[in-house]
Structure 1
Amino acid sequence: MDFDRIFRNARIGGSEGTPVDIGVKAGRFVAIETTLAGSGPEEPLDGRLVVPGFIETHIHLDKSCLLGCCDCRTGTLEEAISEVAKAKRNFTEEDVYVRASRTLEKAILHGTTRMRTHVEVDPRVGLTSLRALLKLKKDYAWAIDIELCAFPQEGLLDDPGSEDVLVQALEDGADVVGGAPYTDQDSHGQIAHIFALAKRFDVDIDLHLDFGLDPSHLDLDEVCRKTDETGWAGRVTVGHVTKLSAVAPERLETIGQRMASAGVALTVLPATDLFLNGRDHHHSVPRGVTPLHRLLDLGVTCSLSTNNVLNPFTPFGDCSLIRIANLYANVAQVSPPHRMARCIDMITTQSARLMNLDDYGIAVGLPADLVVLDCSSPMEAVAEIASPLAGFKAGRPTFSRQRPVLHRPA
């Protein structure tokens, strides 16, 4: 059989025992065998690990790379929201596109092939960022599939006109509806409005939720209740939920079981959660990062993601999800090899489940999206922050990176 491309001696993530050959034709995987007979251009992988690309489930392309536009002194969430709110008034479609494409290209170069990006819409910025990202989504489809989640960062009910803009965003092409209930005095009211919009437009929900360290009040309870009430199981995601980092193990187990039964997924954003939480502590500063792996054990769909890049919410970031997985493993003190390997699941297969992707994976018949890592197992990938060496979208190369060479003296 003639192939468009053959990957020789690859280790597929999750079954990295025996290396296999992978045949690609017409943009899809058509054969996976230990010794594949056939002809076509070959990519010798020498036993390296391959994954179907990393998935960024929660990132803000529209407000990335804003450090030079904001005056940040305290590093708090309130300051970040305020400073970005000021900067948004000067956003143009061209400006958003340029900054977002800079960030997106970093993500692609680090092996990301799918993405859900949140995009702010409100009466001040209007649909400026949405229009820029709709164009970006189209222009970069050769390398990455993008979902746009429209949401009001500064409130919905307490910000007159925001709901009208949010509705227009959904009519104009936003794929998912989001919110930040803690920005309204009536957080449950915002949750109800978001669920109503999800039902009206038949879209998934992705909420910024329960940010902080006081777990005495959790909007998560209401989100689970509304998910049951509306039949939206498997279509609701909550991000951050850092208050869960401050609950006792027994209560965390009860909450995890409730989330699993309701079908509510969770995304943890380690870089931002570490940077913003505990600012009022002068010593013994809490981490503020929810122990995601414990919830995963309870059946909750869990993902790790980047969130913000080079802006007041997180003045760091290179869009490497491998680095985020390593950061989480360090902070959460994940040590057994099998648990470390599961951190890769939370930037691949678990993330695909969160986004309800039915065309993701390395299997015959699926799109030939593949990223080669400079390691031989998921555990090594996390422990060593393995470098992505090459990426392919529908069988076509999207990026490549040379391994470093040590030049010893003669």
Structure 2
Amino acid sequence: MNLDLVVTDARLRGRDEPVAIGIASGRIVAIEREIAADAPVRSAGGRLLLPGFVDSHVHLDKACLLGRCGHDHGDLKGAIAAVSALKRGFTEDDVLARAAACLDRAIGHGTTRMRTHVEVDPRAGLRSFRALKQAKRDYAWALDLSLCVFPQEGLTNDPGCEELLVEALRDGADLLGGCPYTDSDPSAQIDRLFDLACAFDVDLDLHLDFDLDPATSWVEEVCRKTVETGRGGRVAIGHVTKLSAMPREAFEAAARRLADAGVAVTALPATDLFLMGRDRDADRPRGVTRVHELAAHGVACSVATNNVQNPFTPFGDLSLMRMANLYANVAQVGPEGFGACLDLVTESPARFMNLGDYGLRVGAAADLVVMDAADADEAFASITAPLWGLKRGRVSFERPRPILNRP
């Protein structure tokens, strides 16, 4: 067998015995108990091997803003306004430097695929988009970066915004986002976004229903438009915190509707926890949608980073294992559900992002990460750090185990 690399003594989820992974031309070509080949060998040391993590919703353009503004805005509107004032002064070099700091961390935590939302409007212009196009090129050796351009502050109420979105789509944006709850006419924004997505044949990923009032919701409208335009499997919605406040019957009805329409859902625990329920003096709700329960109804779901060290979320390290573990704590998921939560940062987001070459199987890209644990439950429960990883069969990072200097 003509191979470029063999990873030996690797433990995979669902297999009792360690295996060897044969890699050629950046792809997995064999998974066997043993592989004999004249190729370099790298041992996983009997540790868990996972496909690289998939971060389906990040905002690199407005990350790492601590110190540039106050962080006592108190709610979503205040955070949007604070960043709106700052982004007028963003330069391409500034955005690229802050994005690079995040990407460095993400790669070191085992992320190999990422979708970043990019604000495009008359205040930001195309500066952030151009900077992240450069980041996409600069980091292709370790991470596939997908650019989702969107109007953070409204579309129908923001003259000139649509023209900039169209320019970005013509200039290589990978998909289109939206934020109907900031628009003076949310329904009109949804309609226009679907029109643009169809015209440019790109996927949609919308910020939606980001509050705790279950009496009103735009989920049904998005599902209806998805079915009407035949875009099932190509539409995602993020936050959707209203679902966390719905009674069981309404939640399950929404789950069935989302599954039938082919609309994916992303929970963003750090931001959702930080911003939701701040108007309550006591008994504050968690405000995080139970996406593992939606997944059990057949909805493609994920847990993702969202904002990092800015007015929306003044912390973050780009570790998806930590984020999935945080989600499990918030959603009160015990060991029986650890595997399902791990899927929320691996297989499930890869599915709705239509990453056809993803996974731990023959034919998939050799985007792999070795965790410092013997199995998935141990890795998840202890928020285990990765030891090293591969991008298309090349070692992209290494994180040595700490050395304890005992007396």
Same fold (TM > 0.5): yes
How far residue 74 of structure 1 moved from its aligned partner, in angstroms, is: 3.2
Q: Write out per-residue CA displacement over residues 106-151 of structure 1, whole angstroms, 9 at most, x where no aligned residue.
A: 1011000000000000011110000000011011100000110000
Provide the secondary structure at the position in 2 that maps to 1:366: coil
Q: What's the counterpart of residue 8 of structure 1?
A: 8
Moved more, 80-89 or 17-26: 17-26
Q: What's the counterpart of residue 399 of structure 2?
A: 401
Q: What's the counterpart of residue 27 of structure 1?
A: 26
Q: What's the counterpart of residue 164 of structure 1?
A: 163
How far residue 365 of structure 1 moved from its aligned partner, in angstroms, is: 2.1
Matches within 5 A, 1:96-135: 96-135=95-134
- Separation (CA, whole Å) in 1 of partners of 2:376 and 2:229: 37
Q: What's the counterpart of residue 367 of structure 2?
A: 369
Q: What's the counterpart of residue 283 of structure 2?
A: 284
- Separation (CA, whole Å) in 2 of partners of 1:219 and 1:27: 42
Q: Are residues 1:260 and 2:256 paired?
A: no
CA contact (8 A) 2:73 2:79 kept: no
Q: Are residues 1:323 and 2:348 paired?
A: no
CA contact (8 A) 1:75 1:312 kept: no
**Percentage of matched positions with identical amino acids:** 58
Provide the secondary structure at the position in 2 that maps to 1:15: coil
How far residue 2 of structure 1 moved from its aligned partner, in angstroms, is: 4.5
Q: What's the counterpart of residue 296 of structure 2?
A: 297
CA contact (8 A) 1:10 1:46 kept: yes
CA contact (8 A) 2:71 2:314 kept: no
The residue identity in structure 2 corresponding to 1:125 is A
Matches within 5 A, 1:209-248: 209-248=208-247
Q: What's the counterpart of residue 351 of structure 2?
A: 353
Q: Are residues 1:381 and 2:360 paired?
A: no
Q: Structure 1-normalised TM-score? A: 0.98
Q: Write out per-residue CA displacement over residues 308-357 of structure 1, whole angstroms, 9 at most, x where no aligned residue.
A: 0000000000000000000000000001x331111110100001011011
The residue identity in structure 1 corresponding to 2:10 is A
Provide the secondary structure at the position in 2 that maps to 1:118: strand
- Separation (CA, whole Å) in 1 of partners of 2:97 and 2:392: 26
Aligned length: 407
Q: What's the counterpart of residue 339 of structure 2?
A: 341
How far residue 381 of structure 1 moved from its aligned partner, in angstroms, is: 1.9
Provide the secondary structure at the position in 1 that maps to 2:16: strand
- Separation (CA, whole Å) in 2 of partners of 1:372 and 1:216: 45
CA contact (8 A) 1:16 1:376 kept: no
The residue identity in structure 1 corresponding to 2:398 is S
Q: Write out per-residue CA displacement over residues 42-92 of structure 1, whole angstroms, 9 at most, x where no aligned residue.
A: 111122111120001000000000112122223311111000000001011
The residue identity in structure 2 corresponding to 1:353 is R
How far residue 380 of structure 1 moved from its aligned partner, in angstroms, is: 1.7
Moved more, 265-274 or 31-40: 31-40
Q: What's the counterpart of residue 42 of structure 1?
A: 41
The residue identity in structure 1 corresponding to 2:268 is L
Moved more, 318-327 or 32-41: 32-41
Q: What's the counterpart of residue 273 of structure 1?
A: 272
Moved more, 33-42 or 325-334: 33-42
CA contact (8 A) 1:72 1:79 kept: no
- Separation (CA, whole Å) in 1 of partners of 2:283 and 2:122: 41
Q: Write out per-residue CA displacement over residues 230-289 of structure 1, whole angstroms, 9 at most, x where no aligned residue.
A: 000000000000011101111111100000000000000000000000110111011100
- Separation (CA, whole Å) in 2 of partners of 1:253 and 1:364: 36
CA contact (8 A) 2:73 2:311 kept: no
- Separation (CA, whole Å) in 1 of partners of 2:140 and 2:347: 21
How far residue 24 of structure 1 moved from its aligned partner, in angstroms, is: 1.2
Provide the secondary structure at the position in 2 that maps to 1:115: strand
Q: Write out per-residue CA displacement over residues 32-51 of structure 1, whole angstroms, 9 at most, x where no aligned residue.
A: 10011223221111221111
- Separation (CA, whole Å) in 2 of partners of 1:83 and 1:279: 17
- Separation (CA, whole Å) in 2 of partners of 1:16 and 1:252: 35
Q: Are residues 1:174 and 2:169 paired?
A: no
- Separation (CA, whole Å) in 1 of partners of 2:15 and 2:146: 30
Matches within 5 A, 1:85-100: 85-100=84-99
Provide the secondary structure at the position in 1 that maps to 2:228: helix
The residue identity in structure 2 corresponding to 1:202 is D
Gaps of 5+ in 2: none
How far residue 217 of structure 1 moved from its aligned partner, in angstroms, is: 0.4
Moved more, 309-318 or 67-76: 67-76
Q: Structure 2-normalised TM-score? A: 0.98
- Separation (CA, whole Å) in 1 of partners of 2:270 and 2:3: 42
How far residue 405 of structure 1 moved from its aligned partner, in angstroms, is: 2.5
CA contact (8 A) 1:16 1:49 kept: no
Gaps of 5+ in 1: none
Runs of 4+, deviation exceeding 2 Å? 405-409
CA contact (8 A) 1:338 1:379 kept: no
